[in-house]
């Protein structure tokens, strides 16, 4: 069953189209990374799931409930870390959590939740005095109240230091292991790459790609890059490498070959070099990062737009 299903969702604000005919499915139990540059429409999508915003057309379904008509039933079963939220400055961390626990009719232990997000010492301090990172941790604790079936996290690592971001990822993984579906948006690719089963890339209100990280890499044609240094580079060697199946391009710089390949094996390339009389001094491989994938998609689109 799909935990989140958007079908043909369009949202217009006056003349501005924030989302254009968006179709998106998040399967139950998966960790789905929702990527896109700022202003791509990620927060609008999440606002529609939470019924903060109503789509101009199309339907949104969360956990089998209509996002607008049955929003209360949805919010009973999900945990949300909103973006651009503001704590109640005069209430303590404990009062925030007690309010969330009471609201959801849950029975969580406040101390345990604060311990889990790493701010047990702040239980009785007013949240108005918290740093951005502590507010973010408090918001995560609120999202975790009631063991939700679905966690919707909007830019969860905002304001967190690298250590905090890592702890956030650990909690996401733990929640997924418990059986929860995780839907989180980010513009930081490493975050998504480290934990996500599947990724969708949103660009100017449209989903330009949706796949596993591996699938995205393959689809974008940015596979591995192999850099080989040979003792003496000859045109024969270059030709031999170009003939290896799966190799997409070969660049040369003095005695260094830079080979891009979709799925050609490293050994095939090295064998071809040696068969052509080349002596390999050094080699290194680099897998395309999600950055490359992301750039490939977003640049493609820019070209389409300008063309």
Partner 1 sequence: MSWPAIARKDFHDAARSKALWALTALFVLFMAGVAYVYTLLQSGGQGGGELETIGLIFFLLSPVTLLIPLTALVMSHKAIAGEVESGSAKFLLSLPHTRRDAIVGKVVGRGAVLGVSVVVGLVVAAVVTVALYDSFDALAFLGFSALTVLLAVLYTAIGVGLSATTQDSGRATIVAAAFFVVFEVAWGAVVSGVYYLLNGTFGPMSAGSVPDWYLLLNRVPPSSAFTNAVFQFLPGQSTLVAQLFPQNPPIYLSKWAALATMFAWLVVVPALGYYVFERADL
Number of DSSP helices (H) and strands (E) in the chain, helices first: 11, 14
Q: Can you read off the two tokens belonging to residue 154?
A: 């909007």
Beta strands in 141-216 (DSSP E): 150-154, 181-186, 198-203, 206-211
CB closer to partner 1, 7 vs 88: 88
Q: Judged by CB under 8 A, does residue 289 bind partner 1?
A: no
Residue 85 in the binding site for partner 1 (CB under 8 A): yes
Judged by CB under 8 A, the chain residues 241 through 280 that form the site for partner 1 are none
* Tokens linked to 24: 């998106």
**What mask of x and - would describe binding to partner 1 in positions 35 to 54, judged by CB under 8 A?**
------------x--x-xxx
What tokens appear for 117 in the block?
């997000």
Residues in region 107-126 near partner 1 by CB under 8 A: 126
Q: Which is nearer to partner 1, 54 or 231 (CB)?
A: 54
Please report how close the Cβ of residue 85 comes to partner 1 at its closest, in angstroms.
4
Of 52 and 245, which has the nearer Cβ to partner 1? Answer: 52
Query: CA of 28: how far to CAs of 176, 203, 249, in Å?
Result: 10, 24, 40
Spatial separation of the C-alpha atoms in residues 151 and 156, rounded to whole Å: 11
Residues 5-24 close enough to bind partner 1 by CB under 8 A: 13
With contacts defined by CB under 8 A, name the span among 72-80, 210-218, 263-271, 282-290 that binds partner 1.
Answer: 72-80
Nearer to partner 1, 71 or 252 (CB): 71
Select 75 or 198, whichever has its Cβ closest to partner 1: 75
For residue 198, give the nearest of 29, 31, 4, 23 by alpha carbon: 31
Cα 207 from Cα 34, distance rounded (Å):
10
Pick one of 139, 189, 199, 213: the residue that binds partner 1 (CB under 8 A): 139
For the bound state, the minimum distance from the C-beta of residue 96 to partner 1, rounded and expressed in Å, comes to 8
CB 206 within 8 A of CB 42: no
Whole-angstrom distance, CA of residue 26 vs CA of residue 183: 8
Q: Which tokens is 116 given?
A: 């889990």
CA 105 to centroid of chain Cα atoms: 31
Q: Go through the chain and tell me how many residues it has.
A: 307
If binding is defined by CB under 8 A, does position 103 make contact with partner 1?
yes
Instruction: Supply the minimum distance, in Å, between the C-beta of residue 281 and partner 1.
Output: 58
**Interface residue list for partner 1 (CB under 8 A):** 13, 47, 50, 52-54, 71-72, 75-76, 78, 80, 82, 84-88, 90-91, 95-96, 99-100, 102-104, 126, 139, 142
């Amino acid at each position: 069953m799909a935990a989140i299903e958007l079908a043909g969702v369009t949202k217009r604000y006056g003349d501005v189209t924030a989302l254009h005919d968006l179709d998106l499915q998040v399967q139950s139990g998966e960790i789905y990374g929702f990527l896109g540059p700022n202003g791509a429409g990620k927060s609008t999508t999440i606002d529609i799931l939470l019924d903060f915003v109503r789509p101009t057309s199309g339907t949104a379904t969360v956990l089998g409930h209509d996002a607008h008509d049955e929003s209360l039933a949805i919010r009973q079963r999900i945990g949300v870390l909103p973006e651009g939220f503001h704590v109640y400055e005069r209430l303590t961390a404990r009062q925030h959590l007690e309010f969330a626990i009471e609201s959801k009719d849950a029975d969580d232990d406040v101390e345990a939740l604060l311990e889990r997000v790493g701010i047990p010492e702040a239980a009785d301090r007013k949240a108005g005095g918290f740093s951005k990172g502590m507010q973010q941790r408090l918001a995560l604790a609120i999202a975790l109240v009631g063991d939700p079936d679905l966690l919707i996290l909007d830019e969860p690592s905002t304001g967190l230091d690298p250590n905090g971001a890592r702890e956030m990822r650990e909690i996401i993984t733990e929640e997924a292991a418990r059986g929860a579906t995780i839907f989180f948006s980010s513009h930081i690719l490493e975050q998504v790459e480290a934990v996500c089963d599947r990724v969708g890339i949103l660009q100017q209100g449209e989903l330009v790609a949706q796949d596993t990280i591996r699938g995205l890499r393959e689809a974008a044609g940015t596979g591995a890059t192999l850099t080989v240094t040979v003792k003496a580079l000859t045109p024969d060697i270059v030709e031999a490498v170009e003939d290896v199946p799966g190799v997409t391009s070969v660049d040369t710089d003095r005695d260094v070959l830079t080979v891009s390949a979709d799925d050609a094996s490293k050994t095939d390339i090295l064998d071809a070099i040696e068969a052509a009389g080349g002596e390999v001094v050094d080699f290194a491989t680099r897998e395309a990062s999600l950055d490359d994938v992301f750039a490939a998609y977003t640049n493609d689109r820019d070209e389409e737009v300008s063309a």
